[in-house]
Amino acid sequence: MEKAANNQLTNDDLIRFALEEQSPKRSEMAGEREKSKAEIKASPSHHTASLNIIRDLSAPKYESTSPLLYLQQQVRTMFTHGPERAKCAFVLLIDANSGVRTTSTSLSTRILALRWDSSAAAASLVMLLAWPQERMSPLLDRQLAWPSAGQPTLREVREGQRHFFLPAYREAKAAAKGPEAKSTLLEVFLVDVHSLRLQKDGAESSKPCTSFSHTFVVAFGPEGMIVWQGCGGEGWGYGLDTYISPEHNGARIRSWEDAGAFADRVEKLTEHKGKWDKKCNNFYKHCFGVDLRQICSVEGVVPALTPKYEAWLKILVFEDLTVEQLRKFSY
């Protein structure tokens, strides 16, 4: 990838990024099936649909004075042409705002690696849409460093400040119900500390474990609370596209009663220590929609859960989210 002349999301830039005619240079050892998949992922029809998605983001067909409802519609807009085209639009938005020109080869490679059942990918999409333009540089840097995507490291866990969800929830609720009716956005990283230690020590290669680490985004406003997330692995879980669908209705406006119950369960997950027991599993299932105990119970299919439960929480907070900030993309 090379640097473009500027980082403005212009019509000419997007068309050039999306339709650049450069033959992919693939290894002769690559199988025909993988070659075919890559060509499909970055096909012209994907490019056209992706540009339509970006156009709708910059000039939406909906009007709302509520940041919560506006962001809810923006996330839905990303998937109007399906999850694969949403991947293409996501990559183009990252690169155009970073001032990076993407070739057909790199676009195909990144689309193939992107999964909406990755909690990090799902959260990153919402953050890209919501984060204010003037503060986007660190966010874009971590997207270009995918797949790490800003996930906390063991060093950060050891040296950084541990956060707690309930205080953040209470502050956001107070701001939403206060006289100024402010909206607040939280990106939450629930970290499996023991799993990070196993990876660092090289133990993961000899006996792989399923980590409970999970990233999600929560927005609060006068209307209530919305959660955006994806959670899964090979053969289990769900993607962000499924989560926001009418059938799943995960990204709905939740009442303050439901929001309080969610916050309480997340806090209890953070405080829990010892082993992954039934109570801990139920908290996780209610919050994130997957039954890890059941998923990991079939030997040889999904690796067993991390033997030691040790959680650590990191929260990024953006206060006073506005519709004007959400309209940052221009086309």
Which residue, chain included where needed, has tokens 């156009």? 55
Average pLDDT, the chain: 81
pLDDT of 11 above 70 = no
Q: In terms of residue numbers, what domain contains 55?
A: 2-149
Q: 314 forms bridges with which residues in the sheet?
A: 189
pLDDT of 10 above 50 = no
Final residue belonging to a domain, choices 149, 165, 199: 149
pLDDT per residue as tens digits for the range 199-226: 877 654 556 788 999 999 999 999 999 9
> Domains in the chain: how many in total?
2
How does residue 306 score in pLDDT terms, banded at 50, 70 and 90? Answer: confident
Residues 138 and 165 occupy one common structural domain: no
pLDDT per residue as tens digits for the range 86-131: 998 888 888 877 777 777 777 788 888 889 999 999 999 999 999 8
Final residue belonging to a domain, choices 114, 149, 184: 149
pLDDT per residue as tens digits for the range 24-81: 333 333 343 333 333 334 455 556 777 778 777 766 556 678 999 999 999 999 999 8
pLDDT of residue 9: 40
Distance CA 68, CA 176 (A): 11
pLDDT of 237 above 60 = yes
pLDDT of residue 202: 61
What is the pTM (predicted TM-score) of this model? 0.83
Domain for residue 328, yes or no? no
Distance CA 202, CA 299 (A): 22
Residues 45 and 134 occupy one common structural domain: yes
Residues 142 and 173 occupy one common structural domain: no
Please, are residues 110 and 143 in contact by the beta-carbon 8 Å criterion?
Answer: no
